Amino acid sequence: MTATLEDDVLPPEPTAVELGLDSAEKPRSMFRRGWEVFAENRLALVSLIFLVVFCLFCYLGPVFYHGDAFVSNLDAVDLPPGAGHPLGTDPNGEDVLAQFMHGGQISVNVGVLSGLISAVIGTLYGAVAGYLGGWVDALMMRAMDAMLSIPLIFLLIYLGMVYGHSTTLMVLVIGFTGWFSITRLIRGEAMSIKVRDYVAAARMMGGRGPRVIWKHILPNSIGTTVVNTTFSIAGAIFYLSTLSFIGLGLQAPNVDLGAILNTGTEYVDQGYWWLIYPAAVAIILVILAFNVIGDALRDAFETRLQKR
Amino acid sequence: MPLLELKDVRTEIRLKRSTVHALDGVSLTVEAGQTLGVVGESGCGKTMTAMSIMQLLPNGGSVTGGEILLDGRNLLELSEAEMAKVRGNDIGMIFQDPMTSLNPTMTIGRQISESVRIHRHAGKTEAHERAVEVLSLVGMPSPERRALDYPHQLSGGMRQRAMIAMALANEPKLLIADEPTTALDVTVQKQILELIDGLKERLGMAVILVTHDLGVIAGSADKIAVMYAGRVVENTNTEALYVNPRHPYTEALFDSLPERGAEADTKLYSIPGLPPDLTNPPTGCRFAARCRYARDTCREQDPQLDGETSEHRYACFFPVGAVEKSAKEIPVTLSEATSSEELPQTSIGAPLLTVQNLVKEYPITAGSILRRKVGAVSAVSDVSFTIYEGETLGLVGESGCGKTTIGKLIVGLEDATSGQIDYADTDLAKDKGARDRYRKQIQLMFQDSYAAMNPRMRVRSVLREPLDIQHVGDKASRDKRINELFDQVGLPRTALERYPHEFSGGQRQRVGLARALTLAPKLIVADEPVSALDVSIQSQVLNLMKELQAEFNLSYLFISHDLSVVRYLSDRIGVMYLGKLVEIGPAESVYANPVHHYTKGLLDTIPVADPAVERAKEDKGIEGELPSAIDPPSGCRFRTRCPAAQSLCAEQEPPLVPFGTNGHLAACHFPLRTAEGAPAPAVTLPNPTIPPATVPAEDTKADADAGA
């Protein structure tokens, strides 16, 4: 471009490079940039690694370690950790390490499944209520309040009597009772997103409710959804442990970490620490890890913190 | 000794992976009693200069070099505690948006007295008295009562007055005003600028006026510094700059002003590209990449800020303009440098859309359950006009006059209370089915293109959405259409995979235009499409809109508060006031021979980028503020602010009658010129014995309350 004073024409249309739009650097996706922020949070990385290791241990552990989780061996009851039984045995002579692996699997399964159920129901319910607004919203929210007023313990005792304390029941009950807080948050998001210009633009093109919810409201509340899903998974694991601990949860042989702890506390005065500490520490760390990851995800989805 | 002197100030902002060199050797002086205007595009370091002086830099920002001398004292050497005493005491600052700068939970009076109590250690009553005193100083009506109001109870102009009062409470030596009028209407803008000017003279303080608008500073600044990419590129007194700009950047800024193009009927000049990325500034002259005169030297060496005289300094190897030009001998036509390319003209055809007696009222309800209707906001009241094929109809007026509501009604985002919108033999206001059918043909272009695009969608999906919704063609043909559109708006196809926030404002508005064009509409309602853009970028979008109009024979309903932009683009102009269309006619006729007093007032308040014209303005423009639309004035709605109002105006609503044969209509009992053919009104001149019904202060207060 050697334009002199003479040629008084408009300069040629700027190229992509001049516009700062050259594709030398491939545009990074939202998730990629989010990951960069996430990875800066060391604690969250450690938590993520811990969870991965914990899951590998619980799911792949039984492949390499053949302890008998469910076979009582009355010759070897209440053994402290030692050769043959790295974490000792319980009062029934069952291997604690094998039980721990199995219990970990169940805790994670129930937690993740019911957490996801809560997230899906809560997000959709909240998005629809928030988008529609008006009396539909009022009706949906009051219906939710009504459901919220049923005591969970009462529900569990009743359903447990009728259907037995199965894993499926636990997943469904925890999943279907844990979506209320997500609903409120997503409803708020939907109410603020639906008045944005891009929703007006979509409506003006002829876009209808389902499309607006699916293409605009849900993607833009993804941060809240993902963060709260992690929190609700942590919550579900905690809930299951608590229920099992007080005897309303899963029953032997289908034990989770909470049920192991329950057994352990009966013998606390005998000093059988191996029945308590592994399960208790695992519960605390898993829940803590999910919460830390949730916090880091919240930062990751905050676009202001993403690298410009 | 100058009051404030900046010597080679360097400011850096450290980001996560890079450092922005926000200011790179800025030197400025401000004398007591003077106004220094700082202009430039956004991102050129104007606000950073102000923030460096105040030492209120964003996170990671610090002044890394140079000196900032206030009365000979280097502010950079002061401790934070000492600096806190300087802020608000020696230097006052006002910001762009008064609403976000005021604390919504404190009364105006308390916010002002707080600063008095901190800096002067005054008692509660004493500080309150001072607050009332400064409020009356800034022209706040009934200051005692207003001091007890919360920010939301005041209108935008009043809030800015309160902000100024707060900045002045301790009689600072220097007032920094960062875009003080950008968020305000033109009519209020003029009032605020005059206020700042008057206060400067009365209090003898210095003012730094930061703005992007060359018109705003023309009338009020004594000296001007033009900034580009973190540097001052030209620095001189106002007359010299406007008469004889030496830096090509300054010249380009002038050439991009829409009024230049409107006068010459040529395409507007626009500065290509964007300001450079300041994390890694280019070597050589920073403007070289966008300069129409750049040579190899410019790209290799860095020009110093210098000039023939110490009065006029600029940083350019090949300056434009003349060495010696005095203000007297110049018949400068800057437009000789604007492009000579003629504007493409469209042929105006048959009526496309007709609006008849359109009314829109928003109900005001009370009670949370029963929602009784207690009143209505009259947003649009009995408006009729026609848009012809291939025509641009400009709609202007202050904010709150109903122009945006009309746009929303036409595109179908709102339902009309009554009236007709006739399009292709159907009434879109009543027939919802027809609205869906014709949706493709009437599209909207949004003011804030960023807010109007889903931030989680790539631009390709943004453009494909209308095609998907309307089921146009198959996937391949949709992709082809998207590529075609991107070519038409002058963006590279490679950018299709980007997200909206990765574009600059002007580029994003191009994407917005592309989206509006996707369905090949006949009418585009453009709601303030360029008001958020810099002048240099604004002209690019305006030119593009003109070109595409000629290419596709589009009609535009162009809504804007900026009269010079409307004039550049429009064939006809409609002027709205408080829900009423008060004047409509061919653009030239409305500009040259306004009939309605409101139109005249609006025209007078446009800041002109010419100090001589701007200073010579005797007319006050329009005084006061827009009355409430909840209970609009009886008769002519403009009568409360009209210089020619008489008792008839309060009793009877003036009809829209023709003035001349060129389709110029206006609604006024006592017009500025008589209607040809129509019998002349009994009294054509305002009767001086009857005082015009001006809004008393109490009224505006009530309005502000009701509006809140």
Q: Which of A14, A206, A219 sits opposite B436 (nearest CB)?
A: A206
* Residue of B465, B486, B510 to mutate for A, most A C-beta atoms under 10 A: B465
Using an 8 Å CB-CB cutoff, list chain A residues near B270: 10
Q: CA A257 → CA A159, A268, B309, B473, distances in Å?
A: 22, 16, 84, 57
CA distance A292 to chain B (A): 22
Average pLDDT, chain B: 82
CA distance B357 to chain A (A): 23
Confidence tier at B346 by pLDDT (50, 70, 90): low
Q: Is A6 on the interface with B (CB under 8 A)?
A: no
For domain B4-90+172-336, is the CATH number 3.40.50.720? no
Contact B292 A11 (CB under 8 A): yes
CA distance B609 to chain A (A): 23
Tell me what pLDDT residue B343 has: 58
pLDDT, tens digit (0-9, with 9 covering 90-100), for B509-529: 889 999 998 888 999 999 888
Which tokens go with B427?
């009434």
Q: Bridge-partner residues for B177, per DSSP?
A: B94, B209
The answer to whether residues B45 and B203 touch, using CB atoms and an 8 Å cutoff, is no
Contact A303 B339 (CB under 8 A): no
* Residue of A40, A41, A197 to mutate for B, most B C-beta atoms under 10 A: A197
Confidence tier at B179 by pLDDT (50, 70, 90): confident
Q: Which of A15, A202, A308 sits opposite B465 (nearest CB)?
A: A202
pLDDT, tens digit (0-9, with 9 covering 90-100), for B53-76: 988 888 888 899 889 999 888 999
Contact B492 A15 (CB under 8 A): yes
Q: Which long-range contacts (CB under 8 A, 24 or more apart) does B419-427 make?
A: B419/B355, B419/B356, B419/B357, B419/B358, B419/B359, B419/B382, B419/B383, B420/B354, B420/B355, B420/B356, B420/B357, B420/B358, B421/B353, B421/B354, B421/B355, B421/B356, B421/B358, B422/B353, B422/B354, B422/B355, B422/B356, B423/B352, B423/B353, B423/B354
- Closest-CA residue of chain A to B493: A16
User: Of B450, B353, B449, whose CA–CA distance to B409 is shortest?
Assistant: B353
B520: left (phi over 0), alpha (psi -120 to 50) or beta: left
State the number of CA atoms in the 13 A half-sphere of A110 facing the CB. Answer: 32
B166-184 b/e (C-beta count within 10 Å ≥ 16 → b): bbbbbebbbbbbbbbbbbb
Taking every pair of C-alpha atoms in chain A, what is the biggest distance, in angstroms? 104
Q: How far apart are CA A152 and CA A172, in angstroms?
A: 12
Q: Scanning the structure block, which residue is given the tokens 């075609």?
A: B484
Q: Which of B453, B456, B494 sits opposite A21 (nearest CB)?
A: B494
Q: Scanning the structure block, which residue is given the tokens 């008057």?
A: B198
CA distance A303 to chain B (A): 10
pLDDT, tens digit (0-9, with 9 covering 90-100), for A74-94: 777 777 777 777 777 777 777
* Sign of the alpha-carbon dihedral angle for B100, B106, B108, B112: negative
pLDDT, tens digit (0-9, with 9 covering 90-100), for B37-56: 999 888 788 888 999 998 88
pLDDT, tens digit (0-9, with 9 covering 90-100), for B246-298: 899 998 888 888 877 666 567 778 788 778 888 888 888 888 888 888 888 88
Contact A30 B499 (CB under 8 A): yes
The answer to whether residues B38 and B178 touch, using CB atoms and an 8 Å cutoff, is no
Q: Scanning the structure block, which residue is given the tokens 């708006």?
A: B489
Q: Is A216 on the interface with B (CB under 8 A)?
A: yes
Contact A198 B498 (CB under 8 A): no
- B442-445 and B523-527 beta bridge pairing: parallel
pLDDT higher than threshold 90 for residue A51:
yes
Across the range B209-227, mean pLDDT stands at 87
Q: Domains in chain A and their CATH numbers?
A: 50-61+85-305 (1.10.3720.10)
What percentage of chain B has pLDDT greater than the value 90? Answer: 15
CA distance B521 to chain A (A): 11
Please list, in sequence order, all residues whose beta carbon lies within 8 angstroms of the beta carbon of residue A276, skipping any fewer than 6 positions away: A261, A264, A265, A268
Across the range B688-705, mean pLDDT stands at 41
The answer to whether residues B636 and B645 touch, using CB atoms and an 8 Å cutoff, is yes
Q: How far apart are CA B373 and CA B367, in angstroms?
A: 9
- B4-90+172-336 with B351-592: one CATH topology? yes
Contact A27 B502 (CB under 8 A): yes
Please list, in sequence order, all residues whose beta carbon lies within 8 angstroms of the beta carbon of residue B651, skipping any fewer than 6 positions away: B634, B635
Please list, in sequence order, all residues whose beta carbon lies within 8 angstroms of the beta carbon of residue B521, skipping any fewer than 6 positions away: B440, B441, B442, B443, B554
Tell me what pLDDT residue B344 has: 61
Least confident span in A160-164, A229-233, A298-302, B144-148: A298-302
Q: Scanning the structure block, which residue is given the tokens 């009022």?
A: A138
CA distance B85 to chain A (A): 32
Q: Which of A204, A207, A303 sits opposite B411 (nearest CB)?
A: A204
* Residue of B269, B454, B478, B494 to mutate for A, most A C-beta atoms under 10 A: B454
Q: Is A304 on the interface with B (CB under 8 A)?
A: no
Q: What is the DSSP string of A73-137?
A: -TTSTTPPSBTTBTT-B-TT--BHHHHHHHHHHHHHHHHHHHHHHHHHHHHHHHHHHHHH-HHHH
Confidence tier at B333 by pLDDT (50, 70, 90): very low
Tell me what pLDDT residue B701 has: 41
Q: What are phi and psi of B103, to 5 degrees?
A: -80, 120
Contact A19 B274 (CB under 8 A): yes
Q: How far apart are CA A6 and CA B225, in angstroms?
A: 28
Q: Is A51 on the interface with B (CB under 8 A)?
A: no
pLDDT, tens digit (0-9, with 9 covering 90-100), for B371-413: 677 778 888 988 999 999 989 999 998 887 888 899 989 988 8
Q: Bridge-partner residues for B418, per DSSP?
A: B359
Contact A215 B454 (CB under 8 A): yes
CB atoms within 10 A of CB B657: 14
Looking at per-residue confidence, does B687 or B648 come out higher? B648
- Parse chain B into domains and list their residue ranges: 4-90+172-336, 105-171, 351-592, 594-708
Residues 70-99 on A with a CB inside 8 Å of B are none
The answer to whether residues A217 and A194 touch, using CB atoms and an 8 Å cutoff, is yes
Confidence tier at B36 by pLDDT (50, 70, 90): very high
pLDDT, tens digit (0-9, with 9 covering 90-100), for B288-331: 888 888 888 888 888 888 877 778 888 888 888 765 444 443 34
User: Of A259, A254, A252, A248, whose CA–CA distance to A283 is shortest?
Assistant: A259
**How many cross-chain Cβ pairs, A to B, lie less than 8 Å apart?**
121
Please list, in sequence order, all residues whose beta carbon lies within 8 angstroms of the beta carbon of residue A102, skipping any fewer than 6 positions away: A58, A62, A69, A255
**CATH fold of B351-592, please?**
Rossmann fold (3.40.50)
Using an 8 Å CB-CB cutoff, list chain B residues near A19: 273-274, 491-492, 495, 504, 507
Contact B454 A220 (CB under 8 A): yes
Q: How far apart are CA A99 and CA A107, in angstroms?
A: 12
Contact B465 A215 (CB under 8 A): yes
Which tokens go with A161?
């009597």
Q: Bridge-partner residues for B5, per DSSP?
A: B29, B69
Contact A201 B515 (CB under 8 A): yes
CA distance A119 to chain B (A): 20
Q: How far apart are CA B545 and CA B354, in angstroms?
A: 22
Q: How far apart are CA A165 and CA A172, in angstroms?
A: 11
Q: What is the DSSP string of A232-273?
A: HHHHHHHHHHHHHHTTSS--TTS--HHHHHHHHHHTGGGT-G
Q: Using CB atoms within 10 Å of the CB of residue B59, give its burial: 0 to 12 exposed, 13 to 18 middle, 19+ buried.
A: exposed
Tell me what pLDDT residue B679 has: 44
Please list, in sequence order, all residues whose beta carbon lies within 8 angstroms of the beta carbon of residue B660, skipping any fewer than 6 positions away: B589, B676
User: Of B182, B408, B308, B510, whose CA–CA distance to A19 is shortest?
Assistant: B510
Tell me what pLDDT residue A56 has: 92
Using an 8 Å CB-CB cutoff, list chain B residues near A303: 455, 501
Using an 8 Å CB-CB cutoff, list chain A residues near B498: 21, 27
Contact B453 A18 (CB under 8 A): no
Using an 8 Å CB-CB cutoff, list chain A residues near B492: 15-16, 19, 21
CA distance A52 to chain B (A): 29
Q: Which of A10, A30, A201 sits opposite B341 (nearest CB)?
A: A10
